Amino acid sequence: MSTGISSWANPDTIGAIYPFVGSEMLLTIAGVVFWIWWHIKQIRDENRELAEAAAAHRSAGLDKVMEQHRGISPVASD
C-alpha cells in the first residue's frame, strides 16, 4: 500500500494518509450499533441465567442451596 507521497516539501497540502479516509462516520456508527447490541445480548443472557438459577434454587429449597453455597453438598435438581 502506498501513500502516493514522494516529497514532504509542502506538508500543508498533504491530506490524511491513513487507510479508509472518509469512512470514519460509518465505522463510528457501526461501532456504536455493535456496542448497543452487545449490551442487549449480555442483559438477555444474564437475565436468562439468573432465571435458571432462581428456578433451580426454588426447586431445591433454601437449605440445600445454603449447603451448596457453603460447599457441603451440590444442589440437586429434583
Domain ranges, ordered by start, for the chain: 23-70
* pLDDT number for residue 66: 74
* pLDDT number for residue 20: 87
CA distance 37 to 2: 36
* pLDDT number for residue 25: 96
Give the amino acid at 42: Q
Q: What is the pLDDT along the chain (78 residues), one digit of tens a residue?
A: 677 777 788 888 887 888 888 999 999 999 999 999 999 999 999 999 999 888 888 888 877 777 777 776 555 555
b/e per residue, 34-55, with b = 16+ CB within 10 A?
Answer: eeeeeeeeeeeeeeeeeeeeee
Torsion over CA of 6, 11, 15 and 20, rounded to 10 degrees? Answer: 60
* pLDDT number for residue 49: 93
The whole-model pTM stands at 0.58
